Amino acid sequence: MLFSLFSTSAFAITVPVDSQFEPKSYVKSSVHNVAKPRAHKAKVVAVKPTIIEPAPVVIPKKPPLEVQRLRAKKTLPYHQCQPCIYHAKPHWIHKKHSQPKKLVVTHHRPHRLVGVAVYPGSLRWNVEQIAHRYGWNRVVWALPEDYRWVGKARVNAPTVAAIFEKLLQSYPVQAQFYEGNHVLVITPRTIQ
């Protein structure tokens, strides 16, 4: 029976197992026959760790010219400073307080009139149609009777409340708007 020994230099030595031998001496004797690298040319050099010292901080005696220009000449106490300005201009464009040189007159457009058409028939039906058109979906008619609207008409006013005021002006009823729950209540007109 044969026994194989492998070394790190990638060669194998085959030795009979039955014979008495010392593996160290046999391997040593066979290793001496292998060519060795030339040790006198290769040197092992220990690398010394280098510590890099930080560069000294140099503080200039005078700040650069750009910084000198940006410096404030004198600071004021907080009660003498300008108040904060909150408008569309960026914060670096603020100017000193000055009177306006020109008076600007602005003309506001008048409110657009709300116009509704009133059709012949029931007053209650017309009130409910107008209320539903402008989002007042719950109309409470708190009257025992209904009134008749004769003819077709157009009512114009700036708001829905003004429309109902004009519409109900010739009838003994009034409109009450409850904006919290969005309910329109038609009640008898109170004596004033």
SS (H, E, C) the chain: CEEEEECCCCCEEEEECCCCCCHHHHHHHHHCCCCCCCCCCCCCCCCCCCCCCCCCCCCCCCCCHHHHHHCCCCCCCHHHCCCCCCCCCCHHHCCCCCCCCCCCCCCCCCCCCEEEEECCEEHHHHHHHHHHHCCCCEEEECCCCCCEECCCEEEEECCHHHHHHHHCCCCCEEEEEECCCCEEEEEECCCC
Q: Identify the band that residue 120 occupies on the pLDDT scale cut at 50, 70 and 90.
A: very high
What are the tens digits of pLDDT across the range 139-158?
Answer: 999 999 999 999 999 999 98
Domain boundary assignment for the chain: 2-31, 114-188
What are the tens digits of pLDDT across the range 56-70?
Answer: 777 767 766 666 666
Segment of 15-29, 89-103, 138-152 carrying the highest mean pLDDT: 138-152
Question: pLDDT value at position 173?
Answer: 93
Would you identify the CATH topology of the domain 114-188?
Phage tail protein beta-alpha-beta fold (3.55.50)
